[in-house]
Copies of this chain bind each other. A is one copy, B any other.
Amino acid sequence: MAKAITLLESTRPDHRLRADEVLNAILPKSGQSFRLGISGVPGVGKSTFIEALGLYLISKGHRVAVLAIDPSSTVSGGSILGDKTRMEFLSVNEKAFIRPTPSSGNLGGVAEKTREAMLVAEAAGHDVVIVETVGVGQSETAVANMTDMFVLLQLPNAGDDLQAIKKGVMELADLVVINKVDLDPDAATRAQVQIMGSLRLFSMHGNPEHAHHDETLWHPKVIRMSALKSEGITEFWDTVNIFKDIQTKHGHLALRRKQQAQAWMWERIEAGLRQNFKANAQVQKLLPELSEAVNQGTMAASVAARRLLDLMK
């Protein structure tokens, strides 16, 4: 399994051909898991939460894969997420598979590798795939766009939600979990009330295109837990299952996956077109000059764009 993923992550052209064969071969066996996206700022307790959840799910007979998207790791050169040392019990459990974030230079590339790793994990029999993200840049959107349910972890700190609202992450959430409730139960209650208010406003005024669920069937819940004390894990998983049943029953789970696959295809097409454009010898020759003319205001941006596009014909 690790070998297959390494092959998929390779950038060598001959590897890529074999990787596509592998992908097509495993595809019929994939898709059988429930895909859970988990986001939250550093310090919210994601690792502790995922370890507690993973061990709980394994005790219930599941096999769990944990993948990660951390675009910042492509800058630092090493992954801080998915680090096995952060989940000491889950990482040594043979029913669990933990894979750190791949380093592919940009979010689109990282997301692509993570999607493919997810298919491999599913084909290998993992029936719960958790994709975590630390929430740098647009990584929450990437995770929400590859999972069946997107969960946002928040601290028991009223006001913490404004940041999530502002970044558009609250809007993506199918479920909000207030973690570390033991730290300050009163603050957790205030945060819960405030977040429920925000979510209610979203369902009234929200952009239906952004909603990942049908508001008439599911209104995002806000639950409290203490992952450190393993309190609330059962309620969390019960809530996940209620959501899953509703989504499955009304065909929304399949619909969401189809839309995700289409969006993924187009995202990769556009990335490829950009790459081919930048690799074109004539473009490479003319781009600096036209770019400078646009900077200096001696050529309109749209004229420069048309000239460069003409080189591709």
Contacts and interface: CB of A to CB of B under 8 A. Distances in A.
A202 B163 CA distance: 8
A-B pairs with lowest CB-CB distance, top 8: A268-B305, A264-B301, A265-B301, A272-B309, A273-B273, A23-B300, A269-B305, A261-B301
B269 A303 contact: no
Interface string A267-289: 01110111011000000000000
Interface of A: 16, 20, 23-24, 27-28, 31, 112, 115-116, 119, 159, 162-163, 165-168, 170-171, 198, 201-202, 205-207, 257-258, 261-262, 264-266, 268-270, 272-274, 276-277, 290-291, 294-295, 297-306, 308-309, 312-313
A175 B313 CA distance: 44
A304 B265 contact: yes
Which of A198, A302, A303 neighbours the largest number of chain B CB atoms within 10 Å of its CB? Answer: A302
A23 B293 CA distance: 14
Which of A28, A116, A205, A266 neighbours the largest number of chain B CB atoms within 10 Å of its CB? Answer: A266
B272 A305 contact: yes
B269 A24 contact: no
B261 A27 contact: no
Given A162-B165, A166-B171, A268 B20 contact: no
Given A265-B291, A274-B273, A291-B262, A27 B306 contact: no
Nearest to A205: B163
B162 A295 contact: no
A66 to B, nearest CB: 21
Nearest to A297: B31
B299 A24 contact: yes
Contacts of A115: 301-302
B269 A309 contact: yes
Contacts of A166: 165-166, 168, 170-171, 201-202, 205-206
Contacts of A301: 115, 261-262, 264-265, 268
Nearest to A26: B300
A300 B303 CA distance: 37
Given A265-B290, A269-B308, A273-B274, 19 more contacts: A20-B300, A23-B302, A27-B298, A112-B302, A159-B201, A163-B205, A166-B168, A257-B297, A261-B295, A262-B301, A264-B302, A265-B291, A268-B301, A268-B305, A269-B277, A269-B305, A270-B274, A272-B305, A272-B309
